[in-house]
Amino acid sequence: MKYSDYIKILEENELHIHSDNIVYKHGQKNHNRPICNNDILQDLVIKYQAGDITDKEYELLGIMINTMTRIVLNNKKFRFQKDDTRNDVTGEAYLTVLTALNKKLYDKDKGNAYSYIFRLCYTAGIHILEAENRQKEIVSSLVDTFNDMYDANIQKPE
């Protein structure tokens, strides 16, 4: 496919690229949700891994990866997280996806690019949440230890 074919697919499916570089579908029942078209994503990923991608197609691939990350952030595990956490998830997801694509790890015979990239983004997000939980446990343990030691060292008046 060519870049014009991708734009045609977007238009036929009422998908629009917004100023935030996310693809949305408009309409009464769509609530402006991010939507990533697998046909476009799959073709762009294959072209990228083959090293046969134009600048415009590369930009569209970035928009599609950005859209996938936003879709993952709408998942119940990430939707109500703090902005810092959501930003960390976004960064980790980009890094994970681009690393996998640069290493040519996606195999079109094993499944859709949509599923593959969604899973990479989701797993990257889970790793961020796990790391934050470990950090909270360590801080809590240190605070408890400090309080126990402080209480034990306080001299009681006679």
**Spatial distance between the Cα atoms of 158 and 155, rounded to a whole number of angstroms:** 9
Nearest CA among 4, 25, 1, 31 for reference residue 13: 25
pLDDT category at 21 given cuts 50, 70, 90 is: very high
pLDDT of 28 higher than 80: no
This prediction's pTM: 0.83
Residue keyed to tokens 């980009």: 94
Extents of the domains making up the chain: 3-145
pLDDT digits (tens, 9 = 90+) for 132-149: 989 888 888 888 888 777
Report, in this order, helix, strand and coil percent for the chain, each rounded to 5: 65, 5, 30
What 11-15 contacts at long range (C-beta under 8 Å, 24+ apart), as own/partner pairs, is 13/37
pLDDT of 156 higher than 70: no
Nearest CA among 102, 136, 132 for reference residue 120: 102
